[in-house]
């Protein structure tokens, strides 16, 4: 069984969906998990952070290292998808906020976590892309662009760290349509039958579960994956295999 005992993991977007499932599973396997979200819970181990703020990232990573003495894992799961996101409907504000959270937030997290990961002897980063960073969607201009950026950013970071020999790995997980609060809310605004149509677009004929994606995250941050970096891993029920 994979063990993360002794490792400190930072998970953004930990309040719900893929971030919550990832945080729960990493903790189950022994990691000391620091939960981060824009709207955190009041329990111990939860912290508020706007991932689009560089100052917030600097302060947060410094706090983690000061408290725990190390940082071993970063999971950049925070992300948003806003309404009115076709190329003609998308406002400058929608575009900028989507980029700020999804792309800038991932970049800033990696930028400020890498020195801490390296100082502890190395570590692992998992960024969240999407199947829509590979196939596109006419109703999600800003979202698709932001996730496409995360896809190539992940490759760049992996190559940089490999060349620097800092023992920091960086990989990309691309979920399909997963049963998360964000997807459920989106489905509510669609006509009756939309869920069935969406399930039919997946060869496995169902939507994925957050726990299934979390299992992939667990592997990628573990010592079982020490030769894996710069990779893209789909958890999409075959969505991109058509």
Catalytic residues: 143
| Distance of alpha carbon 55 from alpha carbon 59, whole angstroms | 6
Tell me which residue of 131, 240, 141 sits closest to 177, measured CA to CA: 131
Enter the tokens of residue 204.
Answer: 């496995």
Dump the DSSP string for the chain.
Answer: ----TT-EEEEESTTSHHHHHHHHHHHHTT-EEEEEESS--SSTTEEE--TT-HHHHHHHHHHHHHHHS---EEEE------SS-STTT--HHHHHHHIIIIIIHHHHHHHHHHHHHHHTT-EEEEEE--GGGTS--TT-HHHHHHHHHHHHHHHHHHHHHHHHT--EEEEEEEE-SB--HHHHHHHHTSPTTHHHHHHHTSTTSS-B-HHHHHHHHHHHHSGGGTT--S-EEEESTTGGG-
């Amino acid at each position: 069984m994979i063990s993360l005992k002794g490792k400190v993991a930072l998970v953004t977007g930990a309040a719900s969906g893929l971030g919550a499932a990832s945080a729960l599973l990493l903790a189950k396997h022994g990691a000391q998990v620091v939960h981060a979200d824009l709207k955190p819970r009041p329990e111990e181990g939860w912290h508020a952070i706007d991932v689009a703020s560089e100052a917030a990232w600097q302060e947060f990573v410094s706090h983690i290292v000061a408290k725990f003495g190390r940082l071993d894992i970063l999971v950049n799961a925070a992300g948003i998808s806003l309404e009115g996101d076709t190329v003609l409907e998308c406002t400058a504000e929608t575009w900028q906020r989507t980029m700020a959270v999804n792309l800038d937030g991932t970049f800033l997290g990696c930028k400020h976590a890498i020195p801490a990961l390296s100082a502890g002897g190395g570590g692992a980063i998992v960024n969240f892309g999407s199947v829509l960073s590979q196939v596109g969607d006419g109703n999600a201009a800003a979202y698709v662009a932001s996730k496409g950026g995360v896809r190539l950013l992940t490759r760049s970071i992996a190559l940089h760290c490999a060349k620097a020999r800092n023992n920091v790995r960086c990989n990309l997980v691309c979920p399909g349509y997963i049963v998360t609060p964000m997807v459920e809310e989106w489905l509510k605004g669609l006509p009756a039958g939309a869920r069935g149509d969406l399930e039919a677009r997946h060869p496995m004929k169902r939507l994925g579960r957050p726990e299934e994606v979390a299992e992939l995250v667990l592997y990628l941050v573990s010592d079982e994956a020490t030769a894996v970096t710069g990779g893209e891993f789909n958890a999409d029920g075959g969505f991109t295999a058509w």
